[in-house]
A and B are shown apart, each in its own frame.
Chain A
């Protein structure tokens, strides 16, 4: 199977055996390609004693720690082919990841995101309320993951409207006008989890204003780290979003700047799902062996998309656990999993665990 074959089928249709075959082929080829075309990557693989002849499953392929993208400029195409350099939106002072993209890689990311998201919301483009500021579009040559996410999502909507002004204040009149104009049709909303919480939910609560959307869908991404500090979990988040915006179906999804496009969406049963384009392997921190279903460990992410940089198999600094494979009650095939958050928070076990539980 090739990436183009994957584009022809439903993004959650491959069963374990089929996926094993398809991903082993595609990811093995990608590993060899990056080995040939990225000198730094080849050095790492040599140090890991990578032997292509010994690979029988994609789980055998070498993974590289995600922080390498902060320390090195890893690319597998000549500089003149790079059309975009994506930076992860790290907080000031922190090193940021740099991801080098060529036109083909960007296109495949967009195509994949389209396949995944439209499998949830259908192919028609709904009026779109972006719960962010238009300012994210400003600096275009070095665009941040946050901006890329917003623009990437825009293809699912029409009449894109930004809810926040340049100072991140919610423009109540604009939002009210949007809801009024589209009151008799389904609407789509998109934003980053923490921004939505801080600048939409909390802001509206303070102003004592609420809207009453009849039929809305919200996709949000960005992680729970900051919300955890405020003791807000997914249930509470969804409840408060619905309180201030109305009847909203909330979908959380997970993705990394290093693997844009092949995102993981939480289904109606609260499970994060791998699509045909990606997989998750949980590794035990002590020896990096593969953990069992239900066992907590480091999250390794695999994506068939990265062609212009060697980011197809990365070890994240997040902890998670596989919940099952091919048997989620929602009907989607593939592994489904749970994310516990960054490893450095692992010491806070107990209380952080408690409010992670649904």
Chain B
């Protein structure tokens, strides 16, 4: 009799462990997928910025300093990529630098007429948006995962099953806005 009771309790614990494990795996994978999405968009931005600088370079000959700043910010963002904790500040600095460039570009009417520049602007705008949205989705997923692993009773098993906490990807709040571009 007591044998069956013990067996029943063990089976219940086993089922519970499986449920906790699968739930945590699902939540962690969603977070990781979201992170890879951010990574894709950040890389895309890193690729787009040199193109834009190249196209506007001739028209904006007197703005060498700004252009250099953008390229420098871009290069340090490339160096920091892959690590949520370091990439955040570097990407935020890059956003600030590109926003400065966009603001200056408004002084050059000939750029507004340039089809190529317009296209690059739309691509950069959408890439900035995608970074913001994938960051939002990533952070929501991480929050859901962290809440799940810290909730009772999963908290009893999460650490011993190898589910550590995940980092949020933070950029200063103002950086979420899309750069104001007058060329649309």
A and B assemble together: no
Residues of A within 8 A of B (CB): none
